[in-house]
Chains A and B, each alone.
Chain A
Amino acid sequence: MNRVIFLFLAFSLLHACSPGKKDTAYAFYYWQQANSFSDSTSHWIEGLNISKFYVHIMDVVWSGEKQQPTPTAITALSTPNPITGKSLIPVIFINNEVIDKADSTQLQELTINLLSAAHGFMDKMGKPLAELQIDCDWTAKTRDKYFLLLQQLKQSSPATTYAATIRLYPYKYERQMGVPPVDYGALMFYNLTSIKNPEEENSIFTYKASSQYRRSGPYPIPLKAILPIFGWYAWFRNNDYKGIVYESPDLTGLPFCTRISKTKFRVLKDTVINGLYLRNGDILRNEFPDTKDLSALNKNLDNLLPGNNEVIFYHWNESFLQHYSTAIKEITGP
């Protein structure tokens, strides 16, 4: 009997750890504002077993001048492009200030405009609108209005599937933050801690930090997992946070800096990078998530999100893909 239990456990464990689970789909966010593809794009898409792309089509911000929600950062993605062959889901980011300040009439107008934008984008891509994802960092204060907007969307176009992004905080603290009234949530496993803290290991993602948001029970709506495959450098001068430096995942060998620890580089000579003046002695903390941590999270997704059937990578950037290719392949499987 004991032997049977052992074999069952071993099998379960193996199954849980095996990458590229059969019933899991893999997708990417496309967050670039225009066509940003290379000759290798199609190769990447096919090689990584990608079934769909979540395309950021615009931001909605509050216009102080007009006192109304206003679209910005509208995507200039045009056809033909290598991703239109896959399923496309438009994503709209709504700044929480919009929800906070909009009155009920403006929320109604916003509902119409969001659907109009989603349809407009999909028309441009030559596809029907089947699903819309809303990205909003709502707070306890704006919760009710935000959820009203989501309900209005559903009422206006019931046949459309709706999703909302969910940070780990509202995921864990469901009572305070509520559960968005959507068909499913996309759980963001990134931007977990304070970038300004010099003692932080990685503010974007560590497996340890994500584990702190473990729930005792299942979340009331189905969830998809968003895994970060992006990064940057947190820049410190004399322990003071100075900003974000966008550089490639590996600075090793570059003459202006030297590695002083696993994730930290010390600037050796004054250097201008992307308009930022880095001084001798400054510290750059690599915030590209560790691939081992990503694998660890992936292996535990079944425990964390029982029933999860999709992993979405944030986000499509071919230079990052190169860096994370092994980890992604391990996650998506052969």
Chain B
Amino acid sequence: MKSYFITGMKAFCNTIAQLLKKLPALSLSFILAFVFSAALACGPGLFEDDARFCLFRPSTINYPQLSAMQYSQKLFHYFNREDFESENTINCKEWQQVTDKTVSYNDIFNLQYHTSPDSFLAAYQAQKWENFNGNSFVKWLTAKKNRRFLEYFATAKAIERTQDITDKGWGHYFHKVETSTLDSLKQVCYTRYKKKLPAFLRLRYGFQFLKCAYYAVDPNDQPKIDEVFKTLASNSSITSQWAYIYYALLQQENLQQAHYLVKAFDICDAKKYRAFSLLSVATLDTLAQTTGDHYIRVMARAIAAMKNPGRSLQDIQFVFDNDPANKYLPLLITREINKLEDWLYSPEVLYFQPFLAENYFTTTVDDPVRYNFEYDKKYLEEFLEQLLRIQRFKSTTFLNIAVAHLYNMSHQHSSARDILFNMEEPVVKEERISFLLEKLFTIVNSKPIQADEVKNEIAALVEKLGKLDDAERYYSPYYSYPAGGISSVLLYLSRKYQALGQTVIAGLLYEKAGIRTNEYIYPPYGESNFYGFISYFEKYAGPEDIDELLKLKHKTNKTPFEQMINPAIWGQDEIYYDLKGTLYIRRSDFASAMEAFRKLPDNFWDTAYEFKAYLPLTSVSDVEQIISFPTGNQKKYTVASKKQVVADVLQIETLLQQAKTNQQKALYTLWLANARLNISYFGKAWMLYAYGKTSNEPSGPGDSYHFAYYYINPNNTNNTENYYYLKDARRLYEQALQLAKGDNELSARCLLMLSVCDEYQHAFDPAESNSTSTGPYRSPFKKELGRLYSKTKFFETVAVSCPDVKADAIGSR
């Protein structure tokens, strides 16, 4: 039961993650609903390797059976069986070889793998083949001259039937294997294996014998098992691969079993993963230490290294020193490079942990994150040194690219350039793609990427990559996890432009890369999407960047680089103007915001996104929803509209400018303070400022939007001071209170709102959340209110509407 809780949670989170990945245009209401219900629990789940950056992955392109052994943070072995020829396919092809040309591959496949033993054996026993009319393989098998093949097929199906429990009820899962039937079938197989039959059939009878011997155990069979295995092991049929696994499993002694599994791993491509799964690291270690077989020792160390998510340099050195031509060395080297990429780049490029930031648990001790970073950089140097040693022994395209990559990672870009620019462009397509990717990576790291000629160079390389047949594999973020190749370079490039302050380029490249990062940012995929078009820019852009973005959008003669970053789908101009105005609001520049909003139709917010639900229809200067009675200018908006809200604020600002008396000034300042409060996280007009809100934000200003905690809030540190910490609102309330001196009624109103503001300001105070005091923070301004203004009419009204305020003010609690 315990495990299902975890897997259930994980499955749920993964489902959400998949949804988000596939449907970035999900409505905000869904997102908000999800966030409110689940943010505290888990946030969206990550696939096992979503959180790691990977650029280098050429070693298994030509060896897909090894794809499952690539580096993974949590030994998550993903591989696509469709990438290589399955054992079933090979088996059917071997059958096709011994049959006439008239027999179709599909008919063989159907009879082998899609026909139940019962239906085949019923037809065989009755010699009635009507149900198989049209199957060319059955026609061939039932021909008189092929009688021996038919007999074999019937024997194989009979063995299959002993294990087939389909349609027999689940109780059969607990029934013992029918050993008596298997015993007799085992004898049949061995007898026929010994007969003078075609080699094709002898091998298959031999394999069936091993299989029966595994399920119907008899110690007396051992000599026969050894004899049959010896024959099968020395041929190239698929039966040899099957025999290796069964022979290994037939070994009683653990290390002996491991010995043959190691061999099976090496020899049998079709059973590689099966053998890999059956070997434990502990057994491999013991085998490597105890075996007298040099080949097995090397292989055991190599396989152990494939299972190690930590450092494997010693194993790699051992494998190289003892078998420099070992075919798994490229995989082991790639794995090690991928680990280094993960440890050094994942935080920097994807923003997944570990961050170079204060450690929650270890603030009183040294900084392990920084320590690990330095430790890994040293490992990079060490690994590069060893790779150079291997490269000196044998220089291959793979090793050259690998060394160039490590040079780049070590910031020795000129050395990387020396290798790459002195290499012939590889002919093999996969190697060529890797070579071009590395070249791109080198340029990004070694040249001024803001220069036009470098931009053109980048664009030319990306175009070249795009023209290679398989390039879509590298473009697609969904090819496998983690996204590799060009997507990774584009994301890396995006971060570089971001560091240079070129937000528009960085944002468009980010969208182009389409890789999941630890930010609530998704690339747009459909016109109905709203947030996806602006999500990156909402977090990183200023209003002037939006002008640049729109300029690029409408530019007709785009440079090759601009064409490269140009998104397949742009959002409508209105979406960007809304963002521009919103960014001005975050700067408290309402006049400029109005300028931007004027470009939009009056009803824009009534229909777009989720604005209608989260923009107010009563004046932004009114805080009735907080203090339970009306205040502010009592204006009503005709429609949900940022334009009307901003116009309201501007009008109050004008009134304030025109005010003659301190009393008037105090009133308008109070209204403006209310407006600021309403445009904050706590107010009714929060969507004037943000595009999403959760119950779980923030833990502090700055990086709190990382989606490991699933925040959709803005990230700008300066601006969040108003949104979360009510800096301007507080200042305005204090100003209003000063101006209201002499007017007790107005002073009381100001003081009450100041107390509300003060309490909200404490909502995100870490000291408060860690406080062991029992009740929530109560503002001292309430006491002040009770002490100075308890005789005012305003206070009397408050006392009726808000008894809790009264209680705090007059000290009854």
Contacts and interface: CB of A to CB of B under 8 A. Distances in A.
A120 B371 CA distance: 57
A114 B357 CA distance: 53
B42 A135 contact: no
A74 B173 contact: yes
Interface in A225-256: 228, 230, 236-240, 243-244
A153 interface: no
Contacts of A239: 353, 359-361
A135 B8 CA distance: 13
Contacts of A283: 361
A191 B2 contact: yes
A279 B343 CA distance: 10
Interface in A77-126: 93, 95-97, 112-114, 116-121, 123-124
Contacts of B375: 270, 280
- The residue among B1, B41, B281 with the most chain A CB atoms within 10 A of its own CB is B1
Interface stretch (A172-180, A193-201, A213-221): A193-201
A281 interface: yes
B170 A116 contact: yes
Contacts of A196: 41-43
A236 B362 CA distance: 12
B309 A272 contact: yes
Interface string B368-397: 110110010000000000000000000000
B40 interface: yes
Contacts of B307: 275
Interface residues of A, number: 59
Nearest to A192: B5
Given A93-B1, A275-B309, A279-B372, A71 B173 contact: yes
Interface in B752-785: none
Contact of B169 (A116, A190, A198): A116
A260 interface: yes
A195 B309 CA distance: 23
B84 to A, nearest CB: 20
A238 B357 contact: yes
A275 B305 CA distance: 11
A170 B1 CA distance: 16
Contacts of B4: 59, 93, 95, 135, 137
Given A58-B170, A272-B308, A281-B362, A194 B42 contact: yes
* Majority DSSP secondary structure for residues of A touching B: mixed
Given A123-B174, A196-B41, A239-B359, A31 B353 contact: no
Contacts of A228: 2
- The residue among B11, B308, B354 with the most chain A CB atoms within 10 A of its own CB is B354
A238 B8 contact: no
B73 interface: yes
A52 to B, nearest CB: 17
B801 to A, nearest CB: 33
Contact of A120 (B42, B172, B309): B172
Contact of B40 (A165, A194, A260, A314): A194
A228 B169 CA distance: 33
A276 B372 contact: no
B310 interface: yes
- The residue among B4, B5, B40, B171 with the most chain A CB atoms within 10 A of its own CB is B171
Contact of A237 (B8, B174, B353): B353
A95 B5 CA distance: 10
Contacts of A74: 173-174
A168 interface: no
B40 A275 contact: no
Contact of B371 (A96, A275, A280): A280
B170 A277 contact: no
B451 interface: no
Contacts of B365: 266
A113 B359 CA distance: 52
B36 interface: no
Contacts of A96: 8
Contacts of A119: 171
B3 to A, nearest CB: 8
Contacts of B8: 95-96, 137
Contacts of A190: 2
B708 interface: yes
Contacts of A280: 368, 371-372, 375
Contacts of B43: 196
A173 to B, nearest CB: 15
B75 interface: yes
A132 interface: no
A264 interface: yes
Contacts of A270: 310-311, 372, 375
Interface string A32-66: 00000000000000000000000001110000000
Contacts of B355: 238
B813 interface: no
A188 interface: yes
A72 B138 CA distance: 34
B285 to A, nearest CB: 12
- The residue among A118, A123, A198, A272 with the most chain B CB atoms within 10 A of its own CB is A272
Contacts of A204: 2
B371 A260 contact: no
A264 B360 CA distance: 13
A238 B354 contact: yes
Given A121-B174, A195-B6, A277 B73 contact: yes
A120 B170 CA distance: 8
Contacts of A71: 170, 173
B74 interface: yes
Given A117-B173, A276-B74, A281-B362, A314 B369 contact: no
B311 A236 contact: no
Nearest to B10: A243
B175 interface: yes
Given A266-B362, A280-B375, A281-B359, A135 B1 contact: yes
A275 B69 CA distance: 13
Contact of A276 (B6, B309, B353, B357): B309
Contacts of B360: 198, 238-239
Contacts of A197: 40
Nearest to B309: A277
- The residue among B175, B176, B281, B359 with the most chain A CB atoms within 10 A of its own CB is B359
Contacts of A112: 169
A82 to B, nearest CB: 19
A204 B359 CA distance: 25
A127 B308 CA distance: 45
A238 B369 contact: yes
Contacts of B73: 277
Nearest to B770: A199
A254 to B, nearest CB: 17
A124 B175 contact: yes
Nearest to A195: B6
A96 B12 CA distance: 11
A235 to B, nearest CB: 11
A239 B368 CA distance: 13
Interface string B161-190: 000000001111111100000000000000
Contacts of A195: 6, 9
Contacts of B42: 194, 196
B2 A236 contact: no
A26 B361 CA distance: 40
A230 B40 contact: no
B774 to A, nearest CB: 16
Contact of A31 (B1, B170, B361): B1
A120 B175 contact: yes
Cβ-closest 5 pairs across A and B: A281-B368, A120-B171, A116-B169, A117-B170, A116-B171
11 contacts: A57-B174, A74-B173, A190-B2, A191-B1, A191-B5, A236-B361, A238-B355, A238-B360, A238-B369, A266-B361, A270-B372
Given A96-B8, A196-B41, A238-B355, 9 more contacts: A228-B2, A237-B353, A240-B353, A270-B372, A272-B308, A272-B310, A276-B75, A279-B372, A281-B369
